Structures are given as structure tokens and as C-alpha cells.
Amino acid sequence: MSDIENSAGDTRPIGVFDSGLGGLTVARAIATALPHESVYYFGDTKRCPYGTRTEDEVRSFALQAGRWLSKHDVKIMVIACNTATAAALRLAQQVLDVPVIGVIAPGARAAINSTRTRRVGVLATNLTIRSGAYTRAIQDLDAGVDVYGCPASSFVEVVEHELASGAHLQEQWLENEDIFDTPAVRALVGATVEPLRDHGIDTVVLGCTHFPLLVGPVRHALGPGVRVVSSAEETTRERADRYPHAPRAAGGRRRRAAASFCHDGR
């Protein structure tokens, strides 16, 4: 039974933490799958990107964010950042006084369910790839699957730079993949994923919550024979499947969801 299932009837918000704005893909997925849940989102834009930080730094940042969200009375904390999940999930679960879930295990399960050749690629930040977290998570489920990590920290910088510029603030950028599908981005993505083409993968995991915003260029670069799975979407799908009934307010009425967004901006 999942922690979110246990929280049925608890009207406190779900806390979502990310290194920047990419975790809004998780917040959106939660709002879509669990429309009567409230979400409190914290994006650490001041210290983004995390993928080039040390593990000790990322652990410290994650605990700071977790304690901050705890003070705002969230019922559960979702570490929407794959890098922070890889570096700090276990510690956060031990130290914080709220349940904490991450995004790597659901992404690994989705990859196992998707692959037929048992050859899986992982696009993630440098720290996530170095940690080996996805390789362990996938091979814990099927030791016969070959996992090929491909560091792509530059993708985070592309997304954060575009969003920080304010150019897309009036656009539905979370729903419109084409905003980031430009010739320059296609060229960057194509060069970055080139090593994966030599391994005969049939599935690639988007192991960073920023990366679903670049799914168009990724699909274009890898071709139609490679399935793309998102850790962000899979995390929410697993929880929604286990928690199909939205809580109701007093009198049997469905309560209205709310969203709050905070960031530690420059």
C-alpha cells in the first residue's frame, strides 16, 4: 500500500521538491491524475542545476527543502528531482518526519515493462549517471537487462535558461512540447544521445524531470524504434493507480484542489 493511498482523506497538500522548474512536470502529472489533491511546489532555482554538484551538496539541499516543506504541513514529499533522489532519498526518508518518495524506482519499472530487447538507455544528469542508481534499480528487477547511461546535464541548462528568460511565461509550455523543439535543441540532443545509438536500445528513460520538455527532440534523435518513458509520469501513474478515489470534504462534496509555488530565485 502506497503512502499516498494511506493518506486518503488527509486534506493536507502534497509537497513536491525539485532542483528548479523541471519538477513542474511532476506537479502537473499529480494535478492531472489526482485532480482533487492540493500541491505545494518548491523549486531550488538559485542552486540549479544539481547534476554538476557533489553528492554531499545535493543531500544538504534536499534535506533543507524537505524541512522547509515539513514546516508547511505537507502530508508527503515527492522528490521530483532524479539527481536528488539518487543522492538523498534514503537519507531523507530516515531524517524527515514526513513520508518521502522519489522518481527513480517508478522509471526503472516502466523501463522493464517497456523493453523487449532488454537493452535500456538512461538519459540523466552527470551525478545521477555516476551514482549508478538507475542501473541498480533496473537490474534489481531484471539482472539480465543491459543499462547504458548517457549524461545529459546540458538539457537541464537549456530548459532552465529558456524558462528563466520569461519568453514562454504566457505560453502553455508544460503542455506544448514544440516550444523547445528547435533546430538548435535538436542538434544538441542529437549529439548528446549519439553514444546510445551504438547499443541497440529499444527503450530510453528520461531520468530527469526537465527532460520530458525535450521529448520531441529526443524521439527525433533516437528514431521510432526506441520507446521513451518518463520517470516523472510513471511516478504519478503508480500512485494514482493505487489511489483512485479523491478525498471528499465534509458533507460528501469533493474538495477543490489548490496549488502553491515557491522558488529560491536568483
Catalytic residues: 81, 208
Strands (E), the chain: 14-18, 39-43, 76-79, 100-101, 119-124, 146-151, 203-206, 227-230, 259-263
| Phi–psi pair at 79, nearest 5 degrees | -80, 100
First to last CA, the chain: 40
Q: Residue 196, Cα to own-chain centre: how many angstroms? A: 21
CA 210 from chain centre, in angstroms, equals 7
In whole angstroms, what is the distance from residue 261 CA to residue 39 CA? 8
Residues forming a β-bridge with 227: 203
Q: What is the Cα gyration radius of the chain? A: 18
Q: How many angstroms separate the CA atoms of 207 and 80, rounded?
A: 10
Nearest to 69 by CA among 39, 32, 34: 39
Query: What is the Cα 173 distance to its own chain's centre?
Result: 16
What would the grid cell of residue 147 be?
A: 543499462
DSSP of 89-153: HHHHHHHSSS-EE-SHHHHHHHHHHH-SSSEEEEEE-HHHHHHTHHHHHHHHH-TT-EEEEEE-H
Q: Residue 184 in contact with residue 208, Cβ under 8 Å?
A: no
